[in-house]
C-alpha cells in the first residue's frame, strides 16, 4: 500500500542504543540533582516535580525526596513522563554546550532526506520527551535535521505498546492509519501500530533478518520507501 507519512521511533531505530545508554542517560543522572535544586522554583520544573508526587500519590514529598525517586527511576530506565521531561531539559544544556551531538545513523539521515524530498511527511514517536527528540535531531551528527519533520509525539500521547496511541497519532496527523508507516525496533510497539491499522517496518540493525517475521524486517533504512 502507498505510504504518505513515516512515523519513526528513535532508540534502536534512527539512533544507536549505545548513544542513549552510554551518553545521554549517564549525563542526565550526573546532572539531575543539581538541575532540580537550581531550577525547582521555575514553574515548568515545579510542574514536573508535582507530576512525580501525583504519580506516587504523595503530595507531601519535599524536593530532595522527589530527587531520590527520580534518580531511582532513571537507574531503572522507567518510561515515566516527568522523568523524561526533566531528562530532556538537562540534555538541552549538554547539546547547547557542545558536550555531545545527537547520533543518527547515516542510512537514516539519507532516507529521511530522500523521503522529505518526495513529499513524504515525517513524524517522530519516542518515549523520550518531545523536547529531547527535537534536541537530538537539531544537534545531530549530520547537522540540524528538524526541518525534515512535521511533528513529534511522546508518552503524553500514550504508551507505545497501546493501540489507542497510534489511533490518536493518526487522527492528529490527519491521515488514515493505513497511510502511515511506523518504524521501530520493538515488536510489541509494531504490534500495537499494526492493530491500529498502520503499516510497519521492524529495524533489526545488527541481527539477521527473519523472512517469516510478522512485521517486515530491515537491517537499515535503505530498503524502506515512502511515497
Q: Is 141 a residue whose pLDDT tops 90?
A: yes
How would residue 1 be classed by pLDDT, with cut points 50, 70 and 90? confident
For residue 20, how far is the Cα from the chain centroid?
11
**Domains recognised in the chain with CATH numbers:** 5-16+103-218 (3.40.50.1000), 19-96 (1.10.720)
Q: Which residue has 514536573 as its cell numbers?
A: 48
Band (pLDDT 50/70/90 cuts) for residue 69 is very high
Question: In Å, how far from its chain's centre is CA 135?
Answer: 11
Q: What residues are paired with 170 via a beta bridge?
A: none
Is 218's pLDDT higher than 90? Answer: yes
Cβ(47)–Cβ(85) below 8 Å? no
Chain centre to alpha carbon of residue 201:
16
Which pTM does this prediction carry? 0.84
pLDDT of residue 128: 87
Cα–Cα distance measured from residue 169 to residue 158, given in angstroms and rounded to the nearest whole number: 10
177 pLDDT band, cuts 50/70/90, is very high
Amino acid at each position: 500500500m502507498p505510504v504518505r507519512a513515516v512515523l519513526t521511533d528513535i532508540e534502536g531505530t534512527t539512533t544507536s542504543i549505545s548513544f542513549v545508554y552510554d551518553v545521554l542517560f549517564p549525563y542526565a543522572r550526573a546532572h539531575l540533582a543539581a538541575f532540580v535544586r537550581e531550577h525547582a522554583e521555575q514553574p515548568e520544573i515545579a510542574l514536573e516535580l508535582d507530576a512525580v508526587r501525583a504519580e506516587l500519590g504523595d503530595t507531601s514529598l519535599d524536593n530532595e525526596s522527589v530527587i531520590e525517586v527520580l534518580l531511582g527511576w532513571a537507574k531503572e530506565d522507567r518510561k515515566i513522563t516527568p522523568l523524561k521531561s526533566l531528562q530532556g531539559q538537562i540534555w538541552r544544556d549538554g547539546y547547547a554546550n557542545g558536550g555531545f551531538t545527537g547520533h543518527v545513523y547515516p542510512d537514516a539521515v539519507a532516507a529521511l532526506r530522500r523521503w522529505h524530498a518526495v513529499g513524504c511527511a515525517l513524524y517522530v514517536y519516542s518515549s523520550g520527551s518531545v523536547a529531547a527528540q527535537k534536541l537530538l535531531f537539531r544537534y545531530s551528527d549530520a547537522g540540524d535535521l528538524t526541518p525534515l519533520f512535521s511533528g513529534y509525539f511522546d508518552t503524553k500521547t500514550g504508551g507505545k505498546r497501546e493501540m489507542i496511541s497510534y489511533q490518536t497519532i493518526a487522527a492528529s496527523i490527519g491521515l488514515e492509519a493505513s497511510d502511515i508507516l511506523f518504524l521501530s525496533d520493538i515488536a510489541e510497539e509494531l504490534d500495537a501500530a499494526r492493530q491500529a491499522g498502520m503499516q510497519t517496518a521492524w529495524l533489526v540493525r545488527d541481527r539477521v533478518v527473519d523472512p517469516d517475521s510478522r512485521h517486515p524486517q530491515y537491517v537499515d533504512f535503505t530498503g524502506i520507501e515512502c511515497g
